[in-house]
A and B are shown apart, each in its own frame.
Chain A
Amino acid sequence: GAVVSQHPSWVICKSGTSVKIECRSLDFQATTMFWYRQFPKQSLMLMATSNEGSKATYEQGVEKDKFLINHASLTLSTLTVTSAHPEDSSFYICSASTDRAGANVLTFGAGSRLTVL
């Protein structure tokens, strides 16, 4: 079946540094990828939708300059948390879809836990 890989699975960084998280579709081409944020004991919140070759669409309240998303190929999307601060510490999860529309099931990555000191 479809597999989505996220890297790194966990990262610790100092405040003010930038962190890049990769999301790869391993055995299929993902025309659309999604980035979520999950706080402890809370649900997933969609941050942005990235389409290959075009700018990401951010959800309301998500700072596009803070969370840079690049979807340069059909198998890779990256999320860069710029100038990270402790409040950015969270579990970031990506998912991928093979269809721009319809009810296809999303395939989720294992998540990346970011801790900003």
Chain B
Amino acid sequence: AQSVAQPEDQVNVAEGNPLTVKCTYSVSGNPYLFWYVQYPNRGLQFLLKYITGDNLVKGSYGFEAEFNKSQTSFHLKKPSALVSDSALYFCAVRPHYGGSQGNLIFGKGTKLSVKP
């Protein structure tokens, strides 16, 4: 079965330290990979995506993610965390073949807490 795993329910980081939010996937074929962020009582906001090309993808707000095909991972990273980065982060995968564009497979989300 196709799935996305975010192994950590919560990640705690001190402001100014680097952060990593992990994501692994199990999807047949070459998937499209996304990271979204959700602030309280808000919809999901797009951060970045990997479709093809360079494995290191840079996105909004200084975030980046690295696609690792051998490890089937797409971890989200930021060199220096801000308190304002505190939110719920979702990794999502869209199988390359079949299904509608909205048929994203979402991870369960990781709550990022950045303390001053």
A: residues with CB less than 8 A from B are 4, 6, 9, 32-34, 41-46, 49, 57, 59, 93, 95, 97, 99-111
- Contact of A32 with B90 at beta-carbon distance under 8 Å, contacts A4-B43, A103-B51, A110-B41 already known: no
Which residue of chain A has the shortest Cβ distance to B88 in the bound complex? Answer: A41
- Residues of A near B104 (CB, < 8 A) are 44, 46, 106
B: residues with CB less than 8 A from A are 32, 34, 36, 41-46, 49, 51, 90, 94, 100-104, 106-109
A–B Cβ pairs within 8 angstroms, 25 of them: A6-B43, A9-B41, A32-B101, A32-B102, A33-B102, A42-B108, A43-B90, A43-B106, A43-B108, A44-B44, A45-B106, A95-B43, A95-B44, A97-B101, A99-B101, A100-B101, A103-B32, A105-B49, A106-B46, A106-B102, A106-B104, A108-B44, A110-B41, A110-B43, A111-B42
State the CA gap A42–B33 with chains docked (Å): 19
State the CA gap A6–B32 with chains docked (Å): 26
Which residue of chain A has the shortest Cβ distance to B49 in the bound complex? Answer: A105
A109 touches B94 (CB 8 A): no
Which residue of chain B has the shortest Cβ distance to A111 in the bound complex? Answer: B43
**B62 vs chain A, min Cβ distance (A):** 18
A49 touches B102 (CB 8 A): yes
**A80 vs chain B, min Cβ distance (A):** 19
5 closest A-B pairs by CB: A34-B102, A108-B43, A43-B106, A108-B44, A110-B43
State the CA gap A105–B44 with chains docked (Å): 11
